[in-house]
């Protein structure tokens, strides 16, 4: 049971079968031929017998399978019958059965053996393939697509749905893709669905715990493009990227919610989460990976047996982004990091735990950081030998060349800290700052409401007078008065010779 989540996740590979039809040509036989070529390029074994009659090609006993790495099992997808029909206008209609089983057999050494079947189901699926050789277009619509865990056996013991459940349903699905094949296979695609709902539950008899998770997302969309080598070896990522593997995609939704209940040692924690919109963007190539995720109007309600009251919190916006180079390079490469937690509020019940007198302002809090820079990577992160050598020798994966703080904002409990700055780094000088590449640059900071916050913390008994005096002295040493009341500002400058200045006064 401890491998349940990992093995069920593999069933998502079945969706690749539907998109594989994008490689079809304008006749049923060409559709079938290209489908086989496409899937074999991923390392699948493809089987099925074709019978042609009246402009239709019927594939009986269609199946694809693949051995898992290190001989730990097999994956297979099957369809009793697929019918490819020439529509007489240069396009081909592809019809699938209502239920298509996905089977996964996992038998790792010294661990539980898991056999499962997930039924891939469809209602009202219509697919048309058109175009010209080397430039195929396919369109599809479906009233419903779904995946349901129908069988699960762990170490020879059947597990019923009361012990493990996994259901996904997608409604009002519509999509279109274009494939161009030359030296590489280039795919561009777009998809939308009215709703995606899920229901997942587990109850492990070997461990005193269980969980239930259910939720939905509305108005999902996807836009993306992918470049694939014609022959792929999934066990050699470095070779794949060197051969041209890459892609980018953007998922969006216009609202989502989830309810959950987790029981451990006889105690149950329940909760609900929601958001009004969100998106996930990914870009990947052999040189760089970029990832970004954001959501708006998030809410959390939580009840736990160890808490004497329910927890309620909201956040107007949240976001995270990251860009990192992946391949070794001789010149600096771009990198970035960003984090936004904006408009955070929590219930008065939580506030009253540590501030019953309402001494602190209870306005929405925000934390925002935006960093960009350049680094010179020394190793290819997809080269296992290079990474292993790095770990053995204790070397560093790269050199930091520059770093810019484009934005820093911390606003909470009546105070606001802001900052921005730029630095470059001398990687040949590791002595001036004791092993760190010597920085050169400056950062500008401003603080509003700092002294008022100190006064409030003293009034609450959270800060002693002598400690507050030390804090105020430190602020006066590193800052000068700002433009308004209870406002401070500071410019911290670091010079290449090791000097550090605060507002022009040397402090190191």
Per residue of the chain (508 residues), give pLDDT as tens.
444 333 333 443 444 444 444 433 579 988 888 778 778 877 899 999 999 998 899 999 999 999 988 778 999 999 999 999 999 888 999 999 999 999 999 988 878 899 999 999 999 999 998 887 767 788 999 999 999 999 999 989 999 888 899 999 999 999 998 878 888 888 899 999 999 999 999 987 666 788 999 999 999 999 999 998 877 776 677 788 888 889 999 999 999 999 999 998 888 999 999 999 999 999 999 899 999 999 999 999 999 998 888 999 999 999 999 999 999 999 999 999 999 999 999 999 999 988 999 999 999 999 999 999 999 999 888 888 888 888 888 788 899 999 999 999 999 999 999 999 999 999 999 999 888 899 999 999 999 999 999 999 999 999 999 999 999 998 888 999 999 899 999 999 999 888 999 999 998 8
Distance CA 94, CA 104 (A): 26
Within 205-352, strands assigned E span 209-229, 246-253, 256-264, 267-275, 277-284, 288-303, 311-325, 333-346
Distance CA 295, CA 315 (A): 9
- Using CA atoms, how far residue 263 sits from 36, 260, 268, 271, 301, in Å, is 46, 10, 4, 12, 17
- Using CA atoms, how far residue 296 sits from 152, 319, 383, 411, 449, in Å, is 38, 9, 38, 18, 28
* 3-class DSSP assignment, residue 3: coil
Q: List Cβ neighbours of 348 (8 Å cut-off, separation of 6 or more).
A: 362
The residue with tokens 């808490």 is 307
Quick check: 381 and 387 in contact, CB under 8 A?
A: yes
pLDDT for the residue numbered 1: 40
Distance CA 421, CA 372 (A): 11
Distance CA 376, CA 395 (A): 14
Quick check: 203 and 210 in contact, CB under 8 A?
A: yes
pLDDT for the residue numbered 367: 98
pTM of the model: 0.83
Distance CA 135, CA 90 (A): 13
Element containing residue 123 per DSSP (H, E): strand 114-123
Quick check: 64 and 77 in contact, CB under 8 A?
A: yes
pLDDT for the residue numbered 18: 44
How long is the chain?
508
The residue with tokens 């009233």 is 143
Distance CA 455, CA 56 (A): 82
- Using CA atoms, how far residue 30 sits from 34, 40, 51, 181, 231, in Å, is 6, 15, 14, 14, 19
- Using CA atoms, how far residue 437 sits from 89, 154, 295, 323, 343, in Å, is 67, 53, 37, 22, 37
β-strand 438-448 against 487-494: which pairing, if any?
antiparallel
DSSP structure class, residue 39:
H
Element containing residue 473 per DSSP (H, E): helix 465-478
Element containing residue 14 per DSSP (H, E): none
Quick check: 326 and 286 in contact, CB under 8 A?
A: yes
Distance CA 229, CA 241 (A): 9
Quick check: 132 and 27 in contact, CB under 8 A?
A: no
Could you tell me the two tokens for 235? 């066990």
Distance CA 114, CA 159 (A): 10
Distance CA 426, CA 437 (A): 5
Q: List Cβ neighbours of 461 (8 Å cut-off, separation of 6 or more).
A: none
């Amino acid at each position: 049971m401890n491998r349940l989540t990992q093995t069920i996740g593999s069933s998502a590979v079945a969706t690749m079968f539907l998109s594989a039809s994008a490689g079809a040509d304008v006749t049923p036989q060409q559709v079938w031929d290209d489908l086989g070529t496409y899937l074999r390029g991923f390392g699948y074994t493809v089987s099925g017998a074709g019978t042609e009659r009246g402009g239709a090609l019927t594939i009986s006993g269609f199946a694809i399978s693949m051995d898992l790495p290190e001989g730990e099992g097999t994956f297979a997808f099957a369809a009793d019958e697929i019918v490819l029909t020439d529509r007489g206008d240069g396009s081909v209609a592809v019809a699938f059965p209502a239920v298509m089983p996905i089977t996964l057999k996992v038998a790792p050494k010294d661990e539980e053996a898991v056999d499962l079947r997930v039924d891939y189901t469809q209602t009202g699926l219509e697919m048309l393939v058109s175009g010209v050789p080397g430039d195929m277009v396919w369109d599809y619509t479906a009233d419903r697509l779904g995946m349901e865990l129908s069988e699960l056996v762990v170490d020879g013991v059947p597990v019923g749905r009361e012990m493990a459940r996994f259901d996904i349903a997608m409604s009002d699905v519509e999509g279109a893709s274009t494939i161009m094949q030359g030296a590489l296979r280039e795919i561009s695609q777009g998809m939308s669905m009215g709703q995606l709902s899920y229901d997942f539950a587990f109850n492990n008899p070997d461990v005193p715990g269980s969980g239930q998770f259910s939720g939905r997302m509305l108005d999902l969309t996807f836009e993306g493009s992918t470049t694939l080598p014609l022959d792929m070896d999934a066990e050699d990522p470095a070779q794949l990227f060197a051969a041209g593997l890459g892609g980018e995609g953007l998922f969006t939704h216009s609202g989502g919610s989830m309810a959950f209940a987790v029981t451990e040692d006889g105690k149950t924690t329940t909760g609900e989460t929601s958001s009004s919109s969100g998106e996930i963007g990914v870009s990947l190539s052999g040189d760089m990976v970029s990832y970004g995720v954001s959501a708006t109007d998030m809410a959390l309600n939580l009840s736990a047996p160890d808490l004497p009251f329910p927890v309620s919190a909201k956040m107007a916006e949240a976001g995270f982004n990251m860009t990192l180079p992946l391949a070794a390079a001789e010149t600096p490469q771009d990198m970035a990091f960003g984090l936004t937690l904006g408009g955070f509020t929590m219930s008065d019940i939580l506030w009253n735990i540590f501030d019953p007198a309402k001494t602190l302002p209870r306005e929405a809090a925000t934390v925002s950081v935006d960093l960009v820079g350049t680094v010179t990577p020394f190793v290819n992160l997809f080269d296992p030998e290079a990474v292993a050598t790095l770990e053995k020798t204790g070397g560093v994966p790269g050199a930091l060349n520059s770093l810019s703080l484009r934005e820093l904002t911390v606003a909470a409990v009546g105070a606001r800290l802001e900052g921005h700055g730029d630095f470059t780094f001398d990687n040949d000088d590791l002595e001036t700052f004791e092993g760190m590449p010597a920085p050169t640059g400056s950062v500008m900071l401003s603080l509003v409401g700092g002294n008022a916050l100190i006064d409030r913390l003293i009034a609450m008994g959270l800060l002693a007078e002598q400690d507050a005096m030390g804090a105020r002295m430190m602020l006066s040493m590193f800052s000068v008065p700002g433009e308004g009341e209870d406002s401070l500002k500071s410019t911290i400058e670091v010079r290449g010779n090791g000097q550090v200045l605060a507002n022009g006064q040397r402090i190191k």
